[in-house]
Amino acid sequence: MNVFNNEIEIFKTEIHNIYKAYRFSHFGLYNLRSVFNDYKKKNKIENFKIVDQECNIEIKFSELDMEEAKEHGFYQMIMAGNTIVMIYNLWEDNYRTIFAKCLGYTNKTDLKNNLFGDLGKIRNAIVHNHYKRTSDIDKLEILGFLFPNDRFILDSFAVHDIYVNALKALELMKQPSAN
């Protein structure tokens, strides 16, 4: 079982790195708003432009774009949703198979986990329903507290709670070591 526990630790590290990348991006958008506002005051402009010469692109940001960079804005929602989807996809496309084999299951679908089942339902709302709530959100077993009263808000608080709960769920999956 040490191999199994080791794989759990590797998965936890991947989740941590995804969460850290999300936090960098989240704060990057927040800081971009400050840069935009400072630049606008000094230069009396309506748009802010970032030029990436390596990719030969330029992206213009308006005041409306900066509003969407706030905590509950469109761009923050996309980053939160993508982070949640990435965590679930690592489970479904990689670690669920590894864990099932370690535990002696013949198929990965034999391995059930309520937390990752909830993430699958959230992922489906994000990917297949364009970031909108589905009826499956009402069936969440662990993460239902995130989306009460017909709400489906993907923000830094939801990502943080999912991160913490994913690490807890993985810790609970660990097997006792044989001495």
Q: State the average pLDDT over residues 91-113.
A: 97
Task: Please give the pLDDT value at position 47.
Answer: 74
* Strand ranges for 44-95 from DSSP E: 47-52, 57-62
**Average pLDDT score over the chain:** 93
Please compute the mean of the pLDDT values over residues 132-149 and round it to a whole number. Answer: 95
pLDDT given at position 39: 80
Could you tell me which of 129, 131, 90, 138 has the C-alpha nearest to residue 113?
90
Return the residue matching tokens 């662990």.
142
Is 0.85 surpassed by the pTM of this model?
yes
Rounded distance between C-alpha atoms, residue 109 and residue 66, angstroms: 43
Q: Tokens 């996809």 belong to which residue?
A: 89
* pLDDT given at position 1: 55
Residue 28's contacts (CB-CB under 8 Å, 6 or more residues apart) are: none
Q: What is the CA radius of gyration of the chain?
A: 20
Could you read off the pLDDT of 19-69 as tens digits, one per residue? Answer: 999 999 999 988 888 888 888 888 877 777 888 899 999 988 888 888 888
State the average pLDDT over residues 83-99.
Answer: 98
Q: Spell out the domain ranges in the chain.
A: 2-29+69-173
**pLDDT-derived band at 177, boundaries 50, 70, 90:** confident
